[in-house]
């Protein structure tokens, strides 16, 4: 495809555009119930923060240093995870994220892997924090 034929706004779904430009979930929490940080081979990094109440994910926020696809994927993970039980959140997959966005370029699937991977790390951390709440205070970021 020639460059002049590509129209970003026409090329992407409404869901993709909404998730790519949403900013209200970008927040660094000082003491979340679960924290996950992952850096991809490309150098993009996502930090994911989750708060849990009664085994359900009450809120998710993130900090991202990466491309627009990474931002879209991180926002999608937030949307898919909030309100779910911890068990259900473990079932969120890269494919779920790509399906939701509809127009995530196939060569950017690793952005979805990075977002889902950081969620998994936050879920694992929340499980550890529940067993030993004091560890939260000494968490390395």
- Applying CB under 6 A, which residues contact ligand FES? 40, 42, 44, 66-67, 69-70, 108, 110-111, 114
- Cβ contacts of 75 within 8 Å, gap of 6 or more: 18, 19, 20, 22, 25
For the bound state, the minimum distance from the C-beta of residue 50 to ligand FES, rounded and expressed in Å, comes to 20
For the bound state, the minimum distance from the C-beta of residue 108 to ligand FES, rounded and expressed in Å, comes to 6
3-state secondary structure (DSSP) of residue 46 = strand
* Closest to ligand FES by CB, 119 or 126: 119
* Closest to ligand FES by CB, 89 or 114: 114
DSSP H or E run through 36: strand 34-39
Rounded CA separation 101/28 (Å): 24
For the bound state, the minimum distance from the C-beta of residue 125 to ligand FES, rounded and expressed in Å, comes to 21
* Closest to ligand FES by CB, 67 or 124: 67
Measured between alpha carbons, how far apart are the two ends of the chain, in Å?
42
């Amino acid at each position: 495809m020639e460059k002049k034929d590509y129209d970003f706004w026409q090329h992407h779904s409404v869901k993709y555009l909404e998730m790519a430009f949403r900013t209200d979930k970008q927040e660094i929490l000082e003491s979340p119930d679960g924290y996950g940080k992952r850096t991809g081979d490309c150098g993009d990094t996502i930090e994911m923060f989750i708060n849990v109440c009664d085994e359900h994910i009450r809120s998710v926020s993130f900090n991202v240093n990466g491309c627009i696809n990474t931002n879209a994927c991180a926002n999608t993970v937030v949307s898919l995870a909030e309100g779910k039980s911890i068990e259900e959140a473990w079932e969120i997959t890269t494919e779920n994220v790509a399906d939701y966005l509809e127009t995530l370029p196939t060569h950017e699937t690793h952005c979805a892997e990075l977002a889902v991977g950081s969620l998994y790390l936050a879920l694992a951390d929340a499980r550890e924090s529940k067993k030993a709440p004091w560890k939260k205070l000494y968490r390395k970021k």
